[in-house]
């Protein structure tokens, strides 16, 4: 089962693996089976304190279409809004 907890764990593992490159919304949906990445990132930040920052970038989906998407990057320390 792909529970929300399982999805959060997949996101954290992926972010740790890729380091400063981060993962885009498209990558999280297509490669990590997380259909609502923004919601899971919110939970990781606000309920669990992970310092996941957002940067905007372009990425291509599986159909080859280019999209302007969020790229999430895990940083050390605790999440603080308005850094």
Q: Averaged in consecutive runs of 10 residues, what is the pLDDT profile of the chain (83 residues)?
A: 94 98 97 96 96 96 96 94 62
What are the sequence ranges of the domains in the chain?
A: 4-78
Which residue reads 């291509």 in tokens?
60
Reading phi first (left if > 0) and then psi (alpha if -120 to 50, else beta), residue 50 is in beta
- The answer for residues whose C-beta is within 8 angstroms of residue 82's C-beta and 6 or more apart is none
pTM of the predicted protein model: 0.91
Q: Other CB atoms closer than 10 Å to residue 59's CB: what's the count?
A: 17
| Residues 8, 49: Cα–Cα separation, whole Å | 13
pLDDT for position 43: 97
- Using CA atoms, how far apart are residues 18 and 8, in angstroms rounded to an integer? 16
């Amino acid at each position: 089962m792909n529970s929300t907890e399982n999805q959060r764990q997949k996101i954290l593992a992926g972010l740790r693996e890729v380091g400063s490159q981060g993962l885009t919304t498209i990558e999280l949906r297509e490669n990590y089976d997380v259909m609502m990445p923004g919601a899971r990132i919110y939970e990781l930040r606000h309920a669990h304190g992970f310092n996941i920052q957002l940067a905007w970038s372009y990425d291509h989906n599986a159909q080859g279409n280019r999209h302007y998407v969020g790229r999430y990057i895990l940083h050390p320390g605790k999440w603080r809004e308005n850094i």
